[in-house]
Chains A and B, each alone.
Chain A
Amino acid sequence: EDKVVQSPLSLVVHEGDTVTLNCSYEVTNFRSLLWYKQEKKAPTFLFMLTSSGIEKKSGRLSSILDKKELFSILNITATQTGDSAVYLCAWEPSGTYKYIFGTGTRLKVLA
Chain B
Amino acid sequence: DVKVTQSSRYLVKRTGEKVFLECVQDMDHENMFWYRQDPGLGLRLIYFSYDVKMKEKGDIPEGYSVSREKKERFSLILESASTNQTSMYLCASSPGTGEAFFGQGTRLTVV
Query: Residues of A at under 8 Å CB distance from B?
Result: 31-32, 34, 36, 41-45, 48, 88, 90, 92, 97-104
State the majority secondary structure of interface residues on B: strand
Question: Do A32 and B98 touch (CB < 8 A)?
Answer: yes
Indicate the member of A41, A42, A97, A100 with the most B CB atoms within 10 Å: A97
Q: Give residues of chain B (43-72) contacting chain A, Cβ–Cβ below 8 Å.
A: 43-45, 48, 50, 56, 58
Bits for B78-94, please: 1 = Cβ < 8 Å to A, else 0.
00000000000010101
Complex contacts, B102 vs chain A, CB 8 Å? 36, 42-44
Q: How far is the CA of A43 from the CA of B40 in the complex (A)?
A: 16
In the complex, the answer to whether B105 meets A41 with C-beta atoms within 8 Å is yes
B41 with A97: CB separation less than 8 A: no
* CB-contact partner of A45 in B35, B44, B48, B101, under 8 A: B101
Task: Given A42-B90, A98-B48, check contact A103 B105 (CB 8 Å).
Answer: no
A-B contact pairs, 24 of them (CB 8 A): A31-B97, A32-B97, A32-B98, A34-B98, A34-B99, A42-B103, A42-B104, A45-B99, A45-B101, A48-B98, A88-B42, A90-B100, A92-B97, A97-B30, A97-B48, A98-B45, A99-B45, A99-B92, A100-B45, A101-B35, A101-B42, A101-B45, A103-B41, A103-B42
